[in-house]
Amino acid sequence: MLDPCADSAQLLYPCVLFSKQRFCLSKKRNDKKVLMPVGDCMEGYEVIVPFQALESLGVIVDVICSGTKKGNAITTAIQDFTGCQIYVEMRGHSFIIRKTFDEVDVVECQGLYITGGRVPQYIRLKQKVLEFTRRFFNHNLPVAALCHGIRVLVAAGVTESRTLTCYPALSPGVRVAGGKYKEVLPTETVND
């Protein structure tokens, strides 16, 4: 029998790449857990699609939001380019919070996913978010940050000497924080 994590040419199940570590998944529920800090006005598709994809692969996703109780909903935003120089935001969907900040045990999580939208500009002000972001980097655990999610990495001080991508308007912040910005197509990622 092939080991799904042994060699990328022999993969039986999809793997998600975060950092330089392979995060192997199976089709049934397993002990893999990803932490997903969220908040109002996060980009809807950047949180809902990865959440559903990870869950469908058996990964437990601990969705947390500062100041919001477990079971309550927050509102996403749908961002669209409507001919303006920058995107506009429209009300999106409701998204249910799974745990409070105090209930989550970061040590149990093997990955961190930071969504884009406006939420990173205020969750980066939460000391606990910065602490667990640093923990994931210090333990060489997988981290994914989309679009504006880079703001959390910059605030946590983990971008120095790393090659990163983000929403292009945020690239000066990456450079000031000692990171190397790489421009890529919207369908591409940077893995450092």
In a domain? residue 154: no
pLDDT of residue 2: 33
Residue 46 near residue 117 (C-beta atoms within 8 A): yes
pLDDT of residue 24: 53
In a domain? residue 79: yes
In a domain? residue 31: yes
pLDDT of residue 19: 44
Domain extent, residue 90, equals: 27-123+131-146
Q: How many domains does the chain have?
A: 1
Q: How far apart are CA 101 and CA 103, in angstroms?
A: 6
**Would you give per-residue pLDDT tens digits along the chain (192 residues)?**
333 343 333 333 333 334 444 455 545 556 799 999 998 888 888 899 999 999 999 999 999 998 889 999 888 888 777 787 777 788 888 888 989 888 989 999 999 999 988 899 999 999 999 999 999 999 999 999 998 999 999 999 999 999 999 989 999 999 999 999 999 998 889 998
**CATH number of the CATH domain containing 110:** 3.40.50.880
* pTM of the predicted protein model: 0.80
In a domain? residue 137: yes
